[in-house]
Every structure is written in structure tokens, then in C-alpha cells.
Amino acid sequence: MPGQVPVRGAVQVQRVSKTYGDVAALRDVSLDVRPGEFLTLLGPSGCGKTTLLRILAGFEQPDAGEVLISGRDVAGLPPHRRPVNTVFQHYALFPHRTVAGNVAFGLEMKGMPAADVAERVARALDMVRLPGLGDRRIDQLSGGQKQRVAFARAVVLEPEVLLLDEPMAALDLKLRKEMQVELKNLQERLRVTFVFVTHDQEEALLMSDRIAVMSRGRIEQLGAPDALYERPRTRFVADFLGVKNVLEAEVASVEGGVARLHTRGGLQILAADDGGYRPGTAVAIGVRPERLRLDGTEPAGESGPLNRLAGILDDELYLGDRTDWRINLGGETVTVAEGAAARRERRRGDAVTVVLPGAAVLRLEGE
Amino acid sequence: MSGRRQAVLLLLPCLAVLTGLFVLPQALMLAASFGRRSVFGGVVPDPTLANYLRAVEPLYLFILAKSVALAAATTILCLVVAFPVAYWIGLRAPARFRSALLVLVILPFWTSFLVRMYAWIYILRPEGLVNLALGRLGLPALPLLYNDFAVLLGQVYGELPFMILPLYASLEKLDRSLLEAASDLGAPPGRTLRQVTIPLAAPGIVAGCVLVFIPSLGSYLAPDLLGGGQTIYVGNLIQGQFAVARDVPFGAALSFLLSLTVLGLLLLFRRPLQASREA
């Protein structure tokens, strides 16, 4: 229809709630997924991400709220009548069918003539780089191959939205990294809306256009990967995205764009005011380990207040490309990440000065 | 080499039991089937094919065919009744009730089959529970007992657990995400059942059918008690030769004819059986 906004592939979740027994899996969740977007639902197990995905697929019905797919209310529509397809966590490939038989399943359900089915299946297998493997049995495939078949089986139907339930979880690390890039490239080529569920923050950051971080049945924060990484809003999001240093503090004063904070462990910290500090209130702050320095130099290009904190090297966590130092600052302990080169110069028990730029202090909400 | 010795040792008890209680008696029966009946009901070792020739006379072949029909009908009805039950217990019922439901399925085994057959007589006889109820409703009484219907009913009732249990075993371990995947890929419930559930439950279906069909073919208790001698099946025929007519050679020949029938049918269905096992 001319003039109408194209909504194919858009998903609107409006105030959806779902309870199992007395466990609230989703509490009043709203979410807009844009057409062609790669949106990730990120969170620990039990956060509701899989429940939300299953509601989109039609395997579960919400207790309250609405779901619109491509602008249409899908309430009461069974899975087989929804314009979405799913890539299951353990692939759920039919063991009694060949690779081609699996990919053909949905096309056969549509009543497509056999010749067309064969052609579409062959093209789909080409796309996932499994040409000529159509006659293989499922139990003859490796994990990565199964994942590709599961993907081909879903996208061959040209869904308006593709739902992916931790599709990488069963793969080993190296293969997972490869598949992440491959899947991201395929998504960009196909321009199909992806709703992707994972508990792996690195995977989410790498692949997504936007990430919805979920916790206890709610979306805690929604945003682009860099926005989320740079500015986690809540304590939960910060913790989940690797902000290892979270300190409890009280706001002593706010003046001229600088908040003066007293931490529970007795440190005085100056933080760049983001407009949210209120004098006399308690606040949680977070600092990424890689924003702290031990070499005493001031970071280039940082404006605002600078903190220098005296401490003692307590412990080291060698991680190959970097080392996480545990620094005892008196009443507080912080983790500082440093490149591998600096490791040789330091030893446990060394007195160090931790340089903390005020701009690196993140004000966090939530208890 | 020690692996082979271990295998022999492990199989020894079973081999001993089977040799003593199956192979030897069967060999004796085989020998008897080629003998002649003595005046007093003994066996005269006088090699002849007469018993087998008599066993394939039209009258006896008709009884055999009727038995095959009864066994087939029993198997099909059991499958039709058991599948939804097994499906529900295995895939739909809350997991915590499953064991209790299975106990209910095998509960009839706590009583002897004979007693249960008498219970059916009590229910089906002309002045039994069903007809009593029909009479109260002002409806005419139905001839429910001592006919082929009663025999079939008794058979289906008796064999049902042997169908439910293997079906349950294969349905219960069915990966539910496969059913969701089928639905997700556009299959309505009926097609999911036909294209996914049934093919994947095929080993259980085959096991159940074999477990029900073979005993049904030779059954004599239900035909005897619920058929009331009005209707004869091969099981009663064989039993009659041993217990009533005292014609052991002919009874033995009929037994082997029955065994050959089972073997023939299993061979006939060998390909679908194998196909399902691979699935």
C-alpha cells in the first residue's frame, strides 16, 4: 500500500508479563525491535530472555500484554501460523530426516512443488557453506555443521523475524568465534530481523545492533553495544558487562561539574558529575579495570578531575594478553587491568599509585 | 579371547534355561509332531507327515486365519487406544504424575488374568452390569458375552498394557523441541504427529505391535472364557488337542504351524521393522 510505513520485520512487545506458578518470568516488558535489526536479549539464566523469545515464537502465551509482529497482533496465533522461525539451542534437527530433508521440512509444509523445494534447499545449503551435504544423516554432522543446518532450515522459509535461542552455546570457543562472525555477515546480507538470545556478553557486543540486558524478568537497559559498554546505567548491567570495580559511596558535595564522593571504605574520590549526583545521598559507582592505571602517568586526552590513590599490590590474575592486579587501597580493593608488557616490572607487595580519572567513574542505579 | 570367554560365562545361565526349558521341549514336540497318536493318547514314533497334512485342511486353516484376524484386530485396536494414552502420559501429563500414571497402567497385573476374565463375564453376561444398566434405562439387553466381540474385547483389554508401555517408553524420550521445531516450521498439529511424532515413535510402535500380536495369535484364555466355546481359535484348538482330544502329535503339528505363521509374518514385515529401528 503506497504511503504506508513498511513494518515487515518489526516486532513490538507491549507490557508483556508471564508467570510460572509464583515465579514471574517477565514483568511488564516492552520492547520495539526495528525491521532488519540484530537485537540481542542478554542476561543470566532465569532472567526471562528465553521466555520472551518463546512468546515471540508462539510456544508460550503471555499472561498480559500484546505482541505485534510486522504490525499484526499475534495473540492466539499458534507457532505454525506465525511469520517467524527459530534456531533452537540444541538445533532440534529431525534425526529421521537427512540434511536436505530437514531444510525441506518447512517448504514441504507450505505445499511447495518438489522441484522448487530441491532448488531452494540446495541454495540454502550453499549459503551456509554446506553444499553437497544434503544426503548426510544428522548424526554424521559436527556441531558446527548442525548449527548451519538449523540456520538454513529456518531462513529458507524467509521469515520476517528470525529467533535464535543461544545457537552458539553448544559449540567450542574457536568455532563459536567463527560462527559469530559468519552469522553476523549473513544477517547483514539477508537483512532479516534477528532476535538473538545469549548469556555471553562478548557475543552480544560483537554481533548486535542493539542489546537489551535483562534481569529478573525486566529489561534493565536497552542500547547499542558501545553505548551500553561505555555507560551502563544500573549496577546489574555494569556487573554483567565487566565493570569489576563497584564501590558504595556517599555524595559529599557537587560543585562545578565535580562530585566529591566518600566511599564506604574511606576513600575520597572525585567524579565527573553526570547531573545525577545529589549531595548527602548514597550512590554506587563503577570503574572498569582498564580505565585505572598503575604507571603513575596521566592518561592523555582525559579532562576533568583526577584521583591518585595509594595502594599495595595484593594479587595477580594472569590472563595472557593482560593481567588483572588486585590492589589494596586500605578500606577498598580494586582490580586494575594492565597490558602484558608491564607485568615483569611488578611484584606482590609493591606500593603503587592508582590513577583514576574522574570521567571513568560510572554512577550506577539500583540496589 | 578373554572377551569371548566372558561372553560365554555371562550367557551361560540363559543358555542353560533356554536349552532345558525351550530347546529340548521343542525338539520333543517336533519329534511328536511327526509321530502317531496311540489308542491311549500316547505318541507312537512312526514317522509320518499325516499330522501336518491334516493341519492344513481348510477347516484348520480357516481357524488359523480367524486367529490371525483376531490378533491383527487386537493389535490395531490396542494401538489406537494406547497411542493417545501413551502420548498423554509421556508428553503432556505433568512429570511428577508420570510414575503414578504408569502404575495405573500396570495395576491390572496385580490380579490374575483369569480373575479379570471372570470380571468381564460378570460385566458382559445377559444379566450383567451393562445389561442391568440398559434395562434400567428401558433399553433392550444386548448379547455381549460368548461371541467374537467378547473375545476381542477381552484380548484388547488384556494386551493393552503391553502396547502402552513400549509406546510410552519411546514417546517419553522424544525430544520435545523437535515437536516445537515442526510447529515452528509451519506444521499444524496433525502433520507434526504424522511427520515427526509417529516416525520417531516407530520403534515403540513396532515393539508394541510385536508384543501384542504374537501372544494374541496363540491366546486361548479369552476365547475360552469370553467366547464360551461358541467360537474357536487356534489357541483353543491346540489346547484341546493336548487336554481334551489327547492327540499330542496333531497338537504339536498345529503348534509348529502357528510358529511358522508368526515367523512368516515377521519376515513379511521385516523391512518396515528394520526401517523403523534405524529411525
- Domain at A135, CATH number: 3.40.50.300
pLDDT band at B1 (very low <50, low <70, confident <90, very high): low
User: Do B233 and B219 contact (CB within 8 A), yes or no?
Assistant: yes
Distance CA B62, CA B85 (A): 34
Give B51-278's CATH code, choosing from 1.10.357.10, 3.40.50.300, 1.10.3720.10, 3.30.450.20: 1.10.3720.10
Neighbours of A224 (CB within 10 A): 13
Per-residue pLDDT band for A6 (boundaries 50, 70, 90) equals: low
Is residue A50 one of the residues assigned to a domain? yes
Residues A227 and A248 in one domain: no
Return the percent helix, strand and coil in chain B, to nearest 5. Answer: 80, 0, 20
Confidence of residue B272 (pLDDT cuts 50, 70, 90): low
Residue B128 has pLDDT above 90, yes or no: no
Q: What is the number of other CB atoms lying within 10 angstroms of the CB of residue B112?
A: 10
pLDDT of residue A4: 47
Cα–Cα nearest to B263, from B212, B214, B201:
B214
Q: Which of B117, B121, B128, B207 is nearest to B155 (CA)?
A: B117
Quick one: A226 and A282 in the same domain?
no
Q: How many CB atoms lie within 10 A of CB A92?
A: 24
Report the alpha-carbon distance of residue A234 to residue A20 in Å, rounded: 26
Which amino acid type is present at position B42? Answer: G
Last residue of a domain, which of A183, A209, A232? Answer: A232
Q: What is the CATH number of the domain that holds A269?
A: 2.40.50.140
H helix or E strand, kind and range, residue A277? none
Rounded CA-CA distance A226/A219 in Å is 17
Closest CA to A69 of A13, A123, A124, A19: A13
Chain A residues touching residue B185 (CB < 8 angstroms): 80, 85, 105-106, 109, 153-154, 157
Q: Is the ipTM of this complex over 0.90?
A: no
User: Is residue A3's pLDDT more than 50?
Assistant: no
Pair (A99, A227) in one structural domain: yes
Q: Where are the domains of chain B?
A: 51-278
Domain match, A34 and A178 both: yes
| A186 and A249 together in one domain | no
Whether A258 contacts A271, CB under 8 Å: yes
Residue B243: all three cell numbers together? 487336554
Q: Closest Cα partner for A93 from A159, A20, A25, A143? A: A143
Same domain, A228 and A256: no
The domain boundary, picked from A198, A232, A266, lies at A232
Question: Could you tell me which of B101, B107, B50, B90 has the C-alpha nearest to residue B197?
Answer: B90
Euclidean distance between CA atoms A265 and A247, whole angstroms = 9
Among A191, A206, A232, residue at a domain's last position: A232
Note whether A21 and A168 are same-domain residues: yes
Same domain? A102 vs A222: yes
A280 lies in the same domain as A219: no
Q: Give the best residue of A54, A94, A157 to mutate against chain B (max B CB count within 10 A).
A: A94
The neighbouring-strand residues paired with A197 are A41, A165
Q: Do B187 and A105 touch (CB under 8 A)?
A: yes
pLDDT of residue B276: 59
Q: Whole-model pTM?
A: 0.84
Q: What domain range includes position A353?
A: 243-364
At A71, give phi and psi (nearest 5°): 85, -10
Q: Specify the pLDDT at position B273.
A: 66
Higher pLDDT, B128 or A152: A152
Q: Report d(CA A172, CA A345) in Å as an integer.
A: 35
Interface of B with A in 155-194 (CB under 8 A): 175, 177-178, 180-188, 191
- pLDDT tens-digit profile of B84-96? 999 999 999 998 9
